[in-house]
Amino acid sequence: MGPPVSASTLVERLAGMMGSRVTLARAVLNQHGQSEAYHACLPPDVVVFPESTQEVVETVKLCASLHIPIIPFGAGTSLEGNTSAVAGGVSIDFARMNRVLAVDASDMDVVVQPGITRKQLNAQLRGTGLFFPIDPGADASIGGMTSTRASGTMAVRYGTMKDNVMALEVVLADGRLIRTGKRARKSAAGYDLTRLFVGAEGTLGVITEVTLKLHPVPQAISAAVCSFDHLHDAVDTAIAVIQSAIPVARVELLDDVMMRGINAYAKLAYREAPTLFFEFHGSDAGVVEQAEAAQAIAADHGGGGFEWARAPEDRSRLWRARDDTLYAGLGLRPGSRALITDVCVPISRLAECLTATRRDADESGMIAPIVGHVGDGNFHMLILIDPSQPAEIARAKALHGRMVARAIAMDGTSTGEHGIGLGKIGYLVDELGEAVEVMRGIKSVLDPHGLMNPGKIFGGGQV
């Protein structure tokens, strides 16, 4: 960790800034050192809860002077060990920096602090006629979603975080505070620093403010569920819907294994077969037209048992089942943890990739339900493991490795939205080759001492 400094000295200096908002409580440290997935708990030495950008600046300056690692922390919903404290250090928890700073309804944008969650943001936007559409499933923080370049269920229509973040305020590793852009909808002014920090997983700086695009609340919303006998028929339906220019807002796939978990977890009675979940946004007439066109395409591919949902409570019930897939999947093997995969391929290769992955998982003997944002070629397999069994973990990692290799060979990626974190470091060079050295060069310029979230993306962890 660099020059030695006692925990008491560090805490004393931090407490001088934030008082009781500095903690060494073991339970809090452990909470900040683990993720939703199977990765081991790697707790920080200290957790702080700043309430202002200035407190973040002073914290970073102190850590820089003492060569102490800095780990930004949002809602703790990451899936690749993105906030684990590989080298100890200070975890900066943004729970108290969760305010909406400005809403401009005319320009359809909003400025927020990083700790606000997507559900909190949309609750505060009620009455404006606008909403923020990026929905990764979990109620993640906006700062965390920005740092991992998140997307989720509505990316097929509204894009990902990289498409919806307009500007950032960032504290660099030496304590300098910069703004990466303005509120203009486009700019050709210099390097695109906003996109550099979106997806950097806290390894280049600490985000303290985010300017986001907003979108009009649709006049009408309709949702539907449709099941299929075969996985490839469900995937072919999703691809045909996209290629037919139907402006679907969401199209999600759950395989038969995941549907079994959903039924058991949520006490539902869906058919336990490959299933598509659709959502359509637009005018009253528009959503009916979209839904009817999608239903006709599904029928051509053997889809049946359509269940429509127009009432808000019916749609909420339908999408709650989709959002509960992590816990429903874990319920298929009580006491297990999940190695959660995250590949994305061009949609023309999606059916091939998905069916080969499903076959590989079945042949491996692992319980591994699949859920996918199939409208943009992204899907996840939850490989359920007993974390106390090294041989089983090795078998799961081998399955995961074959899945990633298959996706990369199809000109895809190892991670569509979860980020590299700790879990996918070994695949980055396979995917991007010499470009990784360019990333390392950028990291060394902005963070020469390796203080910002060390051990992520590139590995290592020494400061």
Q: Which residues span the domain enclosing 234?
A: 220-327
Contact 351/236 with Cβ under 8 angstroms? yes
Kindly report, residue by residue over 105-115, the tens digit of the pLDDT. Answer: 999 999 999 99
Query: How many domains does the chain contain in total?
Result: 4
**Can you tell me the mean pLDDT for 261-278?**
92
Over residues 265-281, mean pLDDT: 93
Instruction: Say yes or no: 143 and 205 in one domain.
Output: yes
pLDDT at 3 over 50: no
What is d(CA 148, CA 35) in angstroms, rounded to the nearest whole number? Answer: 14
Quote the CA–CA distance of 371 and 385 in Å, as a whole number. Answer: 17
pLDDT for position 460: 64
Query: What is the phi-psi region of residue 117: left when phi exceeds 0, alpha when psi lies from -120 to 50, beta otherwise?
Result: beta
One domain, residues 163 and 196? yes
Domain identity same for 38 and 90:
yes
Residue 229: CA atoms inside 13 Å, Cβ hemisphere, count?
4
Look at residue 448 and tell me if it is in a domain.
Answer: no
Amino acid at 313: E
* Cα–Cα distance measured from residue 310 to residue 327, given in angstroms and rounded to the nearest whole number: 26
* Whether pLDDT at 315 is above 60: yes
Cβ 332 vs Cβ 261: under 8 Å: yes
Give the per-residue pLDDT at 5: 56
**Sign of the torsion angle spanned by Cα atoms 257, 262, 264, 270:** negative
Say whether both 308 and 408 belong to one domain. no
Could you tell me the maximum CA-CA distance found in the chain, to the nearest angstrom?
69
Q: What is the CATH number of the domain that holds 360?
A: 3.30.70.2740
Domain boundary among 302, 327, 352: 327
Report the alpha-carbon distance of residue 210 to residue 446 in Å, rounded: 20
Average pLDDT over residues 335-341: 92
The pairing of strands 46-48 and 90-93 is parallel
Same domain, 277 and 170: no
Q: Residue 225 — φ and ψ, nearest 5°?
A: -125, 140
**Is 438 within the bounds of a domain?**
no
Say whether pLDDT at 333 is over 50. Answer: yes
Whether 349 is covered by a domain: the verdict is yes
Q: Please report how many Cα atoms fall inside a 13 Å half-sphere around the Cα of residue 458, on the Cβ side.
A: 22
Tokens of 197: 């920090």
Give me the mean pLDDT over the 11-27 stretch.
94
Q: For residue 25, tell me if it sits in a domain.
A: yes
Are both 87 and 108 inside the same structural domain?
Answer: no
The domain boundary, picked from 197, 216, 235, lies at 216
Q: Say yes or no: 319 and 225 in one domain.
A: yes
Which residues are paired to 304 by β-bridges? 227
Contacts for 82 with CB less than 8 Å, ≥ 6 apart:
35, 144, 147, 148, 201, 202, 418, 419, 421, 422, 453, 456
Considering the domain boundaries, does residue 117 fall inside one? yes
Task: Confirm if 22 and 15 have CB atoms less than 8 A apart.
Answer: yes
pLDDT for residue 109: 98
Q: Is residue 460 part of a domain?
A: no
CA nearest 53: which of 72, 25, 76? 72
The CATH code of the domain that includes 196 is 3.30.465.10
Mean pLDDT of the chain: 93
**Same domain, yes or no: 368 and 317:** no
Residue 461 confidence class, pLDDT cut points 50, 70, 90: low
For the chain, the helix, strand and coil percentages under 3-state DSSP, each to the nearest 5: 40, 20, 40
pLDDT tens track for 440-454: 999 999 999 999 999
